[in-house]
């Protein structure tokens, strides 16, 4: 009886989760940035894409051409001073470091912690959370990160019918610069909708040439059946993940970069199929991230069922500042909802090496 009840609870949780994330994703197109972007500015700072081809790579200069002024910001924005990483960047982050990431989009207060507060306040909270994790596990130094939803699934098809919105160069570079100046690595996340994953990765390639910028892919919004995002949970096969690994491996080798990190979100069985066929590559570090909200016992069960039982390489764990506080954990001694503390997450086996807060 208990097991059956838990399964019903899980099903309700999943329905709630996709509904809430879909609302968050759609909210992106009609909000005012919490970091000072006006509605008019927001419209100019996002781009509905009609083609799947990557944008022009502005890092390439005409052979023999010299900049007119010492300021290269306009000529070569990816080499601008604001994008130079502050401090020392580790040659290889995993498994020596534990990554502590803030997730979201600067155009939405409801999509995650990254956009919920003004920039200085958000970074202050990131620093405090990083200190909490460093104290909880002194053996593992913390690498701070910002995790930007750079391509967001949409409820409307858009001009090309792909049900996704690509953020503009301005938005992506802005978040990259926040990370660079703060010593935080950056993840660019893809919610592919009905678009092709390879085309969306190509769109982001110029940013991934930076040594501290990495990739996230979200099976939840990979709608292989042609369904509208948010109406059901999507899926990626091992072949899709292998495509992402090959792509990142090429970018790493061609640009002489440290190993790239690939985050794959997961909270159901069908979100990732044929996991045994995922091929490891020394140039890419794969993290399977438990991306579900609910009371701690349910989150622990999901971690065990969908991450531990189908191992790939490294593991991650997501904490929702708000959604995890919606229900009391009936399998605990807590009388009110509570957010999992670092010590509780570190009690998992294996200990997650990537921690994401939304």
Share of the chain above pLDDT 70, in %: 78
> What length does the chain have?
358
Which of 8, 28, 10, 7 is closest to 18 using CA atoms? 10
Asked if the structure places residue 138 within a domain, the reply is: yes
Burial of 60 (0-12, 13-18, 19+ CB in 10 A): exposed
Q: Per residue in 89-139, pLDDT tens?
A: 999 999 999 999 999 999 999 999 999 999 999 999 999 999 999 999 999
Give the CA dihedral 206, 209, 214, 215, nearest 10 degrees: 40
Asked if the structure places residue 71 within a domain, the reply is: no
H helices of the chain, in order, are 2-27, 39-44, 113-116, 119-136, 169-182, 197-208, 238-254, 296-302, 342-346
Q: How far apart are CA 8 and CA 150, in angstroms?
A: 34
Q: How far apart are CA 358 and CA 321, in angstroms?
A: 6
pTM higher than the cut 0.85: no
Asked if the structure places residue 56 within a domain, the reply is: no
Q: How would you classify the pairing of strands 164-167 and 142-153? A: antiparallel
Asked if the structure places residue 69 within a domain, the reply is: no
Q: Per residue in 129-181, pLDDT tens?
A: 999 999 999 999 999 999 999 999 999 999 999 999 999 999 999 999 999 99
Asked if the structure places residue 55 within a domain, the reply is: no
The per-residue pLDDT for 124 is 98
> Could you tell me the residue range of the domain that residue 342 belongs to?
2-46+77-357
Q: Which residues pair with 290 in a beta bridge?
A: 266, 317
Asked if the structure places residue 72 within a domain, the reply is: no
CATH assignment at residue 279: 3.20.20
Q: Which residues pair with 152 in a beta bridge?
A: 165
Number of compact structural domains in the chain: 1
Asked if the structure places residue 268 within a domain, the reply is: yes
Asked if the structure places residue 294 within a domain, the reply is: yes
Least confident stretch, 65-79, 246-260, 294-308: 65-79
Q: Which residues pair with 213 in a beta bridge?
A: 186
């Amino acid at each position: 009886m208990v097991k059956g009840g838990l399964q019903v609870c899980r099903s309700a949780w999943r329905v709630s989760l996709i509904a809430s994330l879909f609302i968050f994703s759609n909210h992106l197109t009609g909000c005012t940035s919490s970091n000072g972007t006006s509605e008019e500015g927001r419209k100019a700072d996002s781009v509905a894409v009609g083609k799947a081809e990557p944008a022009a790579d502005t890092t390439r200069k005409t052979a023999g051409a010299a900049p007119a002024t010492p300021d290269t910001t306009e000529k070569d924005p990816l080499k601008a001073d604001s994008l130079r990483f502050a401090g020392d960047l580790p040659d290889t982050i995993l498994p020596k470091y534990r990554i502590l990431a803030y997730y979201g989009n600067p155009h939405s207060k409801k999509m995650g912690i990254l956009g919920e507060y003004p920039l200085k306040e958000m970074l202050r909270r990131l620093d405090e959370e990083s200190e909490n994790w460093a104290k909880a596990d002194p053996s593992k130094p913390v690498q701070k990160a910002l995790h930007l939803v750079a391509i967001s699934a949409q409820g409307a098809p858009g001009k090309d019918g792909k049900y996704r919105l690509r953020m503009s160069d301005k938005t992506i570079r802005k978040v990259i610069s926040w990370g660079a100046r703060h010593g935080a690595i950056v993840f660019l996340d893809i919610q592919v909708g009905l678009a092709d994953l390879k085309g969306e990765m190509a769109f982001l390639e110029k940013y991934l040439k930076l040594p501290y910028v990495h990739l996230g892919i979200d099976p939840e919004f990979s709608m292989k059946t042609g369904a509208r995002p948010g109406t059901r949970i999507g899926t990626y096969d091992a072949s899709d993940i292998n495509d992402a690994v090959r792509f990142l491996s090429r970018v790493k080798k061609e640009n002489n970069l440290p190993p790239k990190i690939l985050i794959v979100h997961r909270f159901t069985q069908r979100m990732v199929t044929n996991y045994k066929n995922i091929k490891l590559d020394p140039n890419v570090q794969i993290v399977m991230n438990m991306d579900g909200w609910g009371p701690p016992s349910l989150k622990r069960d999901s971690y065990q069922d969908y991450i531990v039982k189908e191992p790939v390489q490294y593991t991650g764990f997501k904490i929702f500042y708000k959604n995890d506080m919606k229900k009391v954990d009936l399998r605990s001694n807590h009388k009110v909802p509570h957010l999992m503390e670092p010590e509780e997450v570190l009690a998992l086996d294996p200990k997650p090496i990537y921690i994401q807060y939304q």
